[in-house]
Chain A
Amino acid sequence: GNSVTQMEGPVTLSEEAFLTINCTYTATGYPSLFWYVQYPGEGLQLLLKATKADDKGSNKGFEATYRKETTSFHLEKGSVQVSDSAVYFCALKNAGNMLTFGGGTRLMVKP
């Protein structure tokens, strides 16, 4: 079956630090991969996506590259801001219609 594994949080960084949140997946076939973000008190929002191997998704300074050989989709940002503090979820969608999510990683950015 499908599964997504993310690094456990919380991840605590100072402003302007480099961010990496690891995500690996198990799936049959060729899934699409996503990062969702959940800000405090808000619903899940799509941050970025990649639909095939070697694609790079990017948005708001965040990037993630679909690595089929390592079954990974790590999220990176070169310089985080306090406003990036949120919970980040890695997810995949396979031939079915549903998203399979990882457990989420809480990011806390200190000024």
Chain B
Amino acid sequence: DTGVSQNPRHKITKRGQNVTFRCDPISEHNRLYWYRQTLGQGPEFLTYFQNEAQLEKSRLLSDRFSAERPKGSFSTLEIQRTEQGDSAMYLCASSLGRNTEAFFGQGTRLTVV
């Protein structure tokens, strides 16, 4: 297992387009998290899954954002009608349980032009 994998690593899109990112967590990790990191800032929590259930969503996650984790394995994060303010690094993390270490992927850098 090579860790948390995120694809694509970079995405450039025009304003108004939809984009989808994928995260493959470490095998058997039942918890999966999405964070957003803007330039010069720390990561901000977006949403969290335990297995296939989405249990928490940040107020940062507007109606244009949707995340899924079918079958409790990989997860996708979709942004509809992208805006320039969506430009950021989107990070995925997974963990085995509540009090265990969260392992982060390298992130997907989104640029909206």
Contact = CB atoms under 8 A, between A and B. Distances in A.
Given A43-B4, A44-B91, A45-B104, A99 B43 contact: yes
A99 B104 CA distance: 12
B58 to A, nearest CB: 8
B101 interface: yes
Contact of B33 (A36, A42, A45, A98): A98
B55 A97 contact: yes
Given A4-B42, A98-B33, A43 B91 contact: yes
Interface residues of A, number: 22
Nearest to A102: B42
A36 B58 CA distance: 21
B48 interface: yes
B53 to A, nearest CB: 12
Contact of B102 (A46, A96, A100): A46
A101 B43 contact: yes
B41 interface: yes
Interface string A67-99: 000000000000000000000010100001111
> Of A51, A97, A101, A102, which is in contact with the most chain B CB atoms at under 10 Å from its CB?
A97
A5 B86 CA distance: 24
Given A42-B106, A43-B105, A104 B56 contact: no
A99 B103 CA distance: 12
A102 B58 CA distance: 17
Interface of B: 3-4, 31, 33, 35, 40-45, 48, 55-56, 58, 91, 93, 98-99, 101-107
